[in-house]
Structure 1
Amino acid sequence: MGIHMKKYINTSRRINTKESEEWGFIVINALKKVWLATLIIELFLFIFFQPNEECSRAYYFYLFVARPSIGQGVWLAAADILFKKCIKSKSHRIVSLFMMILVSGFAAIAVWVHTSVGLMPVALLFPMVLCPFYRDWKMMVLQAGISTALYAAYQGYFLPYSPYLPPENLLIDVTIFAGCTFVTLVLEEQVNLSYILQEEKSVRDSLTHLYNHETFYEELEYHMKRYEEKKETFSVMIADIDNFKKVNDTYGHAFGDEVIRKVVVAFAEGHGNNDFSARYGGEEFAMILPKRGIEEAAGIAENIRKKFEEIAFQTELGEKHFTLSIGVAEYTKIYENASTFFEQADKALYEAKRSGKNRVCCAKSAE
């Protein structure tokens, strides 16, 4: 337990392009929303400001609308450029630190400017909401230290040397509280989005982006349960690229990966939106076809087989075409477990391979 608490992920590995885009989407886009909301709040308070001898409306606009909005906007734009140009290919920990400084600085600008609002220092805690996103306890401790240091700067310098402190006002307090609530919701939404993206990655195959082997069996068990409860029949199919080892040996593994990706294209064109496709393993693919009997499922399988066979691959040896063998089985009785049922489709696939490949074979009906 202690080892896992010290380090949740490998923070030294580099962030790839797709991951960096997710970081930018989640954090930087969240701050853009917060920036816009903050500007609206500042303009709202400006409308109700009553000028006095110490502060004219123009001076108030400069202090509490133009100054923070421009400062946060420049900060955010510079961070966006820096992230895209320099940071996105760095290690997870460096990207985390960059995001931490970005969010903390963004909050600090508002707090240091709006020194007269008693609730504003609470904004320095907002970056802590994003700590679960870093998944690194050292970053969490560092974030707490940064927030504390920024608050000390607020108390030691910005509050005593504020150019103007408007009198306390109930409208200001209520508006700022509502704004803080909105900011919290925005940041929590981004953290939830991060978890959703991570969960989606965990159930997908990285090469094809189809569901993986484990997720396929979870879905299969779900449909088996539906059959037990409501007698909703369904079918499954398993497809295998014929002579795939020869493809890799002849053209290389990178070309083999491209052939695997094209199976996804054939699957997408050959089945409906409600069907569940997965990369079962290696060059094998599986599909669950809800509410479809063996004949309809076999028709879909045949359509997929034809579409894949039609795909042309350009090689040094000229244009090449590859084929699929497919086995299909319908769930017509209760099986002991998912593996036992899926063996029926696997046996049908074996028969398709044995009888010449590039064909669809159906499992015999269960008695």
Structure 2
Amino acid sequence: MKQNIKKVIEVGINQETDSWLAGKIKLVNIISLANFIFILWMILFDLFINKNHYLSIVLLGISFIMLIPYYLNYKKRYIASRLVFLSFAYFCICFLAVIFGKEFYFQYYLVPGVGMSLIFFRDEIGNKKWLFTLAGVPLWALLEFWFANYPAFIILDGKYVSAISYFSSFLIFVTAILMFGTFTHESDNQLKNISKMNKKFKQLANIDPLTNLYNRRFVDQQLNYLFDLAKNQNGFLGFVIFDIDFFKKVNDTYGHDAGDKVLQMIAKLADENFRETDLVGRIGGEEFCIVFTNTNKENVLKIVERFRKEIEEQVVQYEEKDIKVTSSFGISYFSNNLNSCEELFKNADTALYEAKRSGRNRIYEYKKDL
């Protein structure tokens, strides 16, 4: 049932429809259908309690006119649909008010009409939208002038007029609620979509596309922040730089696609071995880093050693060939003697150089005598 209602409301919308346009299409569809249904209820009410059915005859014609914008949306003539909707709405309001008099409060339909003109055409027809908006003011004045000088063309029974006027007021209220409710809902959806897109773009700006690890830019930002935090709160901060031993040889022997598979293998292992609070990033071609907080040196060494062994044991298959690699690691730790995170970075890089100089596939911690 819910899906069927959704299909009816979303007539004219497809996957390529812009979200703002989709909101306007839905708004026209909902108000057109709601007016059609409520007017039919008014007709049924009129048929049961009134001897003469002049109002029903007029309303029946108007109810079908209100479906024309719905049909135009179905034909994907979106701007025409809204132009017709507002033009017919203004005309029908004036027609009903003049024919049946001010007791029915039909002129109050001009209020939601003014709001709809601004919502409907805020993007497409520029300053012309003000023609539809400001049209409500002279039309209202014209109706008030008409009521003061001319009687209704069709006079209906007083008790009947009272009942229908309440029904008409209710319909005006419902129309306004539907209009602003629908627009607010679509605006909220649009803001949510914008927020999601902003988060996605922000994430893309911080993520290395090949490995899905954080990139150098993001690592530098976070490392600066964590360094200041450690300095202010005397907290733990460990920084590890590692790279793949003889990675150039992998690329030269098997090709860059094979090299990419090796990098992705490293990233997958990192995702499996480190905590969510550990920041892992790719900071160069085959160079990676890990930032540790809320732990100690012994745990860092234990975790990194386990990770080193797992890399050593992995086999990357590429075009029926087995590729094995190893990695070298350099570790530095925060101390109050350091003035900046650049020093922390440089110390880890120095330790990595020592690990590679000493034979590779090993871990070195930075010491002042390196």
**In the TM superposition, what whole-angstrom CA distance separates every residue of 1:182-217 from its partner, at most 9, and x where no partner exists?**
322322332333332222222222222221112111
- Name the CA distance, whole Å, in 2 between partners of 1:55 and 1:34: 25
1:249/1:275 Cα in 2 relative to 1: closer, same or farther (>3 Å)?
Answer: same
Q: Does 1:55 align with 2:59?
A: yes
1:271/1:311 Cα in 2 relative to 1: closer, same or farther (>3 Å)?
Answer: same
Residue number among 105, 115, 123 corresponding to 1:119 in the alignment: 115
1:45/1:226 Cα in 2 relative to 1: closer, same or farther (>3 Å)?
Answer: farther
- Name the CA distance, whole Å, in 1 between partners of 2:310 and 2:214: 21
Equivalent residue letter for 2:344: F
Alpha-carbon offset, residue 40 of structure 1: 5.9
Residue number among 112, 119, 126 corresponding to 1:148 in the alignment: 126
Residue 59 of structure 2 aligns to a residue whose secondary structure is coil
Computed over aligned residues only, the root mean square deviation of the Cα atoms, in angstroms, reads 3.7
**In the TM superposition, what whole-angstrom CA distance separates every residue of 1:67-93 from its partner, at most 9, and x where no partner exists?**
63x765775xxxxxxxxxxxxxxxxxx
**In the TM superposition, what whole-angstrom CA distance separates every residue of 1:21-77 from its partner, at most 9, and x where no partner exists?**
xxx9997577667766776666665664433322349x83x6657963x765775xx
Percent sequence identity over aligned pairs:
25
Residue 57 of structure 2 aligns to a residue whose secondary structure is coil
- Name the CA distance, whole Å, in 2 between partners of 1:113 and 1:154: 11
- Name the CA distance, whole Å, in 2 between partners of 1:306 and 1:324: 9
Are the equivalent residues in 1 in contact too, given 2:241–2:290 (CA < 8 A)? yes
- Name the CA distance, whole Å, in 1 between partners of 2:357 and 2:209: 31
**Of 339-348 and 307-316, the range deviating more from structure 2:** 307-316
Are the equivalent residues in 1 in contact too, given 2:278–2:290 (CA < 8 A)? yes
Equivalent residue letter for 2:305: E
Equivalence for 2:150 = none
Equivalence for 1:173 = 176
Residue number among 170, 187, 190 corresponding to 1:184 in the alignment: 187
Residue 283 of structure 2 aligns to a residue whose secondary structure is strand
Larger relative CO (CA 8 A, sep 6+): 1 or 2?
Answer: 1
Alpha-carbon offset, residue 111 of structure 1: 5.5
- Name the CA distance, whole Å, in 2 between partners of 1:184 and 1:280: 40
Residue 361 of structure 1 aligns to a residue whose secondary structure is strand
Are the equivalent residues in 1 in contact too, given 2:118–2:130 (CA < 8 A)? no
Are the equivalent residues in 1 in contact too, given 2:316–2:322 (CA < 8 A)? yes
Equivalence for 1:306 = 309
**Of 271-280 and 40-49, the range deviating more from structure 2:** 40-49
Q: Does 1:352 align with 2:330?
A: no
Larger CA Rg, structure 1 vs 2:
2
Count, aligned residues: 283
1:239/1:66 Cα in 2 relative to 1: closer, same or farther (>3 Å)?
Answer: farther
1:312/1:46 Cα in 2 relative to 1: closer, same or farther (>3 Å)?
Answer: farther
1:249/1:153 Cα in 2 relative to 1: closer, same or farther (>3 Å)?
Answer: farther
Are the equivalent residues in 1 in contact too, given 2:82–2:120 (CA < 8 A)? no
Residue number among 202, 223, 227 corresponding to 2:226 in the alignment: 223
Alpha-carbon offset, residue 325 of structure 1: 1.1
**Of 113-122 and 270-279, the range deviating more from structure 2:** 113-122
Equivalence for 1:273 = 276
